[in-house]
Amino acid sequence: MLEFLNPPMHFPRMSSEHMDVRYVANLARIDLSNEECETFQGQLDAILGYIETLTDVDVDGIEPTAHASPVFDRLREDESRPGLGQADLLRNAPESALGQVRVPKVVDA
């Protein structure tokens, strides 16, 4: 798993070089069949090629827009309020036990 913490260095520029679809799918935690991987490779290369048109735009000194709302960092009083109960939250869980969601063992003893 450590290799994901240290991704290979890339130059910070747009690039028409191939995206390594299987590598990125792994970052996104999606398994892909060989066939799907190959199909996506061609399609994503075409999309990335098109996206290159953004390099034509002069963005010097332009502030980025994260969203189009005039509201930022809205806070509320830090007080408890009613929410969904344990039973409601667990009713869609694929596996649960002892009032908790159950998953395969994550940490070795």
Partner 1 sequence: MSLSTQSISSLRQQLTSGDIQPSDILDSLAESITSQNDSIGAYLSHDLDAAKQEANQADLSQPLGGIPIAIKDNINVKDQPCTCGSKFLDGAYQSPYDATVISKLRAAGAIPFGRANMDEFAMGSTTENSALGSTCNPNDITRAPGGSSGGSAAAVASQTAIAALGSDTGGSIRQPASHCGVVGLKPSYGRVSRYGLVAFASSLDQIGPLTQNVEDAALILNAISGYDSSDSTSLAQDVPDFTQGLDQGVAGMKLGLPKEYFGEGIDPSVREQVDQAIAGLESAGAEMVEISLPHTEYAVATYYIIAPAEASSNLSRFDGVRYGNRVDQPDDILDLYRRSREQGFGPEVKRRIILGTYVLSSGYYDAYYNRAQKVRTLIRQDFQNAYQNVDAILSPVTPSAAPLLGSDRDNPLQQYLADIYTLSANLAGICGISVPCGKVTSESGSQLPVGLQILGPHMGEQKLLQIARAAEIQAGN
Signed CA dihedral, 20, 22, 23, 29: sign only? positive
42-61 positions binding partner 1, by CB under 8 A: 43-44, 46-48, 50-57, 59
Q: Compose the 87-106 pattern: x for residues touching partner 1 by CB under 8 A, - for all others.
A: -xx-xxxxx-----x-xxxx
Distance of alpha carbon 95 from alpha carbon 103, whole angstroms? 7
Helix (H, G, I), strand (E, B) or coil at 57: coil
Considering just the CA atoms, what is the radius of gyration of the chain in Å? Answer: 22
Q: Give the binding site for partner 1 (CB under 8 A).
A: 1, 7, 9-15, 19, 21, 24-32, 36, 39-40, 43-44, 46-48, 50-57, 59, 62-71, 74, 76, 84, 88-89, 91-95, 101, 103-106
